Structure 1
């Protein structure tokens, strides 16, 4: 028994430190997730006809722009809602998603369409067809292009997001694995094939376009906010 124990100890001592740290981080991460899910409230004390907005909790920062976009829309339209930050992803495997009574709706764009129909509201009701087209173009640019440039800067090149969300130091060995997955995703998207300088140039051009169009107006298309303003606010 002693020889077996000694052999195990010798083996562990020969394992490189970074491997030990990585294994420890994985174990710690799994433990945190398990405990978090055990503590998650199964039954929510939420009145009927109240929106439950699901989004991850990142402390004082909301790092999911699409979740911030939906919450901004809910606040502007004064629709009753409750936040659920139990880290439970929606049916499409992402955030945000909402529950309303017995209905589940994922994806920020479909959520807003649902809110408009269910609560008989529409932040774009005062826009003419030309303005609607412009708003749609800006929203798509921000969510399908600018978003990925910002993600690459926050999470890949500069890694500022990890500090802002308060990532425990014990999980820091997992960052390279996360970055590897992010690079694969953005490479498939297309923007990950560019250099850091090229991605920054793409981001600057998008933001300059928004800035020049906004000018001295209060909101993107005038004195009143529209859905595209929620998207702009969410991204920035």
Structure 2
């Protein structure tokens, strides 16, 4: 869903990122892969930041976006690349050109194809009925206009292309993506080897949705069996960069 009024620029301190994103989820700190990706990178890079949950939709009508030193920036990937340059936090500098190309290809598959499988499952195939289970404070208005929201999301998925296929075809496409990602990860701790890179933040953002945020979906049992290495990867990222994971859920777990 998009809203797109430009927000006022806010500065909270020199070189401190104000991360604008959706409210916390019940099982993951964000039910959108892109805020989870960017916040994980901020933690990986040890960049100081604060969260703003009041204005999640940025100037381009998407979430997340960020304010840094009085300037607003949109798109999780563009924000990540800007931060990597500004703070000299390039975790992929040791990779070969071929490895970078492979990483980019897998990331785009996850964020531009597999992501829409999540959208279709949550909004279209279940008609939004699973959303209250993973997002505690859904706007009351959304509950009343859910059929309209479903039609909007269905239209966006159709425009993207994946929404033109049958539910079974989309589920099979999602499984093929997940199996390809699992095969590439193999027994490596992280996607590019022994140390995490920016790609791992992106893959964690999307795979975390399948591990923790797709209850009742046909993908859920596979994440615990055939695709267990993807679940283990998510647990590894969670343990390494989110020691406060339970406290970042809504409601917090103690």
Q: TM-score per shorter chain, which class?
A: 0.7 to 0.9
How many pairs align?
A: 195
Q: Among residues 17, 32, 53, which one is paired with 1:85 in the alignment?
A: 53
CA positional deviation for 1:161: 2.3
> Which of 201, 216, 223 is the aligned partner of 2:187?
216
The structural deviation recorded for 1:172 is 2.6
| Whole-angstrom distance in 1 between the partners of 2:146 and 2:17 | 34
Runs of 4+ that moved beyond 4 A: 42-45, 168-171
RMSD (CA atoms): 1.9
Please name the residue that 2:177 is paired with.
206
Which of 189, 212, 216 in structure 1 is aligned with 2:160?
Answer: 189
Shift of 1:43: 9.7
Partner residue, 1:178: 149
**How far apart in 1 are the matches of 2:87 and 2:142?**
43
In proportion to residue count, which structure has more helix?
Answer: 1
2:131 corresponds to which of 147, 150, 161? 161
Distance 2:100 2:174 in 1: 23
CA distance in 1, matches of 2:66, 2:141: 32
Note the C-alpha offset of 1:109.
1.1
Q: How far, CA to CA, are the matches of 1:66 and 1:118 in structure 2? A: 20
Output the CA distance in 2 between the equivalents of 1:189 and 1:211: 25
SS at match of 2:18: strand
Map of 2:12 onto structure 1 = 46
CA distance in 2, matches of 1:133, 1:43: 35
Unaligned residue ranges in structure 2 (runs of 5+): 1-7, 208-254
**How big is the shift at 1:89?**
1.8
Shift of 1:162: 3.4
TM-score w.r.t. the length of structure 1 is 0.77
Q: TM-score, normalised by structure 2?
A: 0.72
1:56 and 2:22 matched: yes
**Deviations for 1:154-191, whole angstroms, at most 9, x for unmatched residues?**
22212322331133677533111110001111111111
Deviation, structure 1 residue 108: 0.9
